[in-house]
Amino acid sequence: MSAPKSFYVTTPIYYVNDKPHIGHAYTTLACDVLARFKRLDGFDVKFLTGTDEHGQKVEKSAEAAGISPKALADANSANFRELAARLNCSNDDFIRTTEARHRASCTALWNKLVETGAIYLGHYEGWYSVRDEAFWGEDELITNADGAKIAPTGAPVEWVREPSYFFRLSAWGERLLAWYEANPDCVGPASRRNEVMSFVKGGLQDLSVSRTSFSWGIPVPGDEAHVMYVWLDALTNYITAAGYPDTEGEFAARWPADLHMVGKDIVRFHAVYWPAFLMAAGLEPPKRVFAHGWWTNEGQKISKSTGNVIDPLGLIDTYGLDPVRYFLLREVPFGNDGDFSHRSMINRINNDLANEYGNLAQRVLAQIAKNCGGAVPKVGELTAEDREMLDGAHGLVSKLRPLIDRQLFHEVLEALWGQVRAANIYIDRQAPWGLKKTDPERMGTVLWVLAESIRGIALMTQPFMPDSSARLLDLLAVPDEQRSFAFTGSHYSLKAGTPLPAPSGVFPRFVEADVNAG
């Protein structure tokens, strides 16, 4: 029997100068859904998240707080680890750039880039933003209302001149364009691919990859007056976690990564600089970088200054974990910007989850408990409508795979809800409650078709709502070892006579009095 196919998915590693917010939760959750889906589909998955802990911003924040940069990093990294746990994320690894394994990896990559002639010593003179940890060209700056030059992100910039090592990014423009052309899915969605290609076609400048004006970073091997540029350090985490610099063993199985999931603000680093670093070191670039959009809050741009940052842990406390997981990936086409509103959240909980999915399961299981002795009913002759219902439920996995591979989470959920709605139409049309006296055998068949359809749907909602889906599968007495996608088909249908536990609700309605929806 051949070994399962590997799937390696990563979040960006989150900068420890900030508290976790909805954007961090969104990215991590999307990766968790992918990881869970692929595991259930028979893949050997590695799901990586973690924290980016070096750089001038951390050094300055720690100084202002009167603590060491490491103490600040320790405290804030723990917040991101807690977020992943509270989201019920199934990450296999949590990397910190202050770990010894990461320092060894960065040092090895740097030495390799020096060996290939990709890094040289010069001096940097230009505009730098501490907040962005990024250098900006004169043509990229904008002027604010006070007449000051600022970065396109709105961050302040300062003119710096210091010795610096440079990466010969200018040598990689044509090779990067050839890579994009040969691998049309390597950057998604299409709007981000076009943005990246346009940037590269505009001409690439060599990239400063070291700093001497601060010390909180990984020292440049052989020249410890310099620390590595935070982005070279941070991006390397993806190969560190795969075992680099040992290119045998796990690295050979995992690399190149199948997907780097990022926010749209850092797509350039991941889809231009990172592939160039890797190719210059003789390593393969990632298979795909996908950049999702940003959230607004009730129509307003989210910012610390206006105090409207959305705390994902607060959302979980208010609405429950699985409803939050469902909402974030259902509400907005993944890749687009989206607006968070409490009204939309409540509508999704009460309409999609309680009324449609939860009520379907409750109606079916309550009737089986009442009319079929609390056991899976016997199946009689199947009609064309029965078969259509079952084919839809059993065929979900093949319909969803290509959507998951393109990160179209909202379309995956829409396809699943199409099946939920079809089952609700079927139960109303078949009216099993009226068949008990007139045709009890037909009643049993209809309820079996519905229960089997719910089994098919619940198997597929596991990546999105693991706890709720597990409860539904428990109510159907589906054994734990039969919950992977290998068991979605008709060969593993519910067996007549299997005792079922007493039915209970899985998706309660949200009572609006419980929250101040303002």
Which whole number is the average pLDDT over 291-304?
Answer: 78
pLDDT confidence tier of residue 160, bands split at 50, 70 and 90: confident
State the amino acid at position 8 in one-letter form.
Answer: Y
**pLDDT reading at 516 higher than 70:** no
Burial group, residue 225, by CB count within 10 angstroms (0-12, 13-18, 19+): exposed
Q: Is 45 helix (H, G, I), strand (E, B) or coil?
A: strand
Q: Which CATH number fits domain 342-512: 3.40.50.1980, 1.20.1440.230, 1.10.730.10, 2.60.40.1840?
A: 1.10.730.10
Tens digit of each residue's pLDDT (9 = 90 or more) over 461-478: 999 999 999 999 999 999
Quick one: how far is CA 322 from the chain centroid? 15
pLDDT confidence tier of residue 298, bands split at 50, 70 and 90: confident
CB of 210 within 8 A of CB of 233?
Answer: no
pLDDT of residue 304: 64
pLDDT confidence tier of residue 267, bands split at 50, 70 and 90: very high
pLDDT of residue 509: 96
CB of 291 within 8 A of CB of 191?
Answer: no
pLDDT of residue 305: 61
DSSP class of residue 16?
A: T
Max CA pair span of the chain: 89
> What pTM was computed for the model?
0.93
CA–CA separation, 119 vs 361, rounded Å? Answer: 61
CA–CA separation, 69 vs 56, rounded Å? Answer: 10
pLDDT of residue 1: 58
Tens digit of each residue's pLDDT (9 = 90 or more) over 67-114: 999 999 999 999 999 999 999 999 999 999 999 999 999 999 999 999
CB of 209 within 8 A of CB of 228?
Answer: yes
From the list 135, 139, 182, the residue with the least C-alpha distance to 159 is: 135
Q: Please state the φ and ψ torsions of residue 242, each to the nearest 5 degrees.
A: -90, 0
Which tokens in the block code for residue 481? 């070892």
Terminal CA-to-CA distance of the chain, rounded, Å? 57
Which tokens in the block code for residue 124? 């940097």
**pLDDT reading at 145 higher than 90:** no
| Higher-scoring residue by pLDDT: 447, 125 | 447
CB of 12 within 8 A of CB of 30?
Answer: no
- Across the chain, how many H-helices and E-strands are there? 21, 19
Per-residue buried b or exposed e for 159-178, using 16+ beta carbons within 10 Å of the residue's own CB:
ebeebbbbbbbeebbeebee
Which tokens in the block code for residue 428? 């109303």
Element containing residue 259 per DSSP (H, E): strand 259-263
Q: What angle do CA 376, 379, 384 make, to 5 degrees?
A: 130
**Which residues are within 8 A (CB) of 44 and not within 5 positions of it... i.e. 6 or more apart?**
3, 4, 5, 6, 7, 253
Q: Is 95 helix (H, G, I), strand (E, B) or coil?
A: strand
**Which residues are within 8 A (CB) of 235 and not within 5 positions of it... i.e. 6 or more apart?**
269, 270, 273, 274, 277
From the list 109, 89, 112, the residue with the least C-alpha distance to 238 is: 109
DSSP 162-222: EEEEEE-GGGGHHHHHHHHHH-TTSEESHHHHHHHHHHHHT----EE-EESS---SPEETT
CB of 435 within 8 A of CB of 356?
Answer: no
Which whole number is the average pLDDT over 114-134?
Answer: 90
CA–CA separation, 166 vs 263, rounded Å? Answer: 26
Residue with tokens 């299981």: 365
Q: Is 499 helix (H, G, I), strand (E, B) or coil?
A: strand
pLDDT of residue 311: 87
**Which residues are within 8 A (CB) of 184 and not within 5 positions of it... i.e. 6 or more apart?**
193
CA–CA separation, 87 vs 321, rounded Å? Answer: 7
CB of 292 within 8 A of CB of 334?
Answer: yes
**pLDDT reading at 518 higher than 60:** no
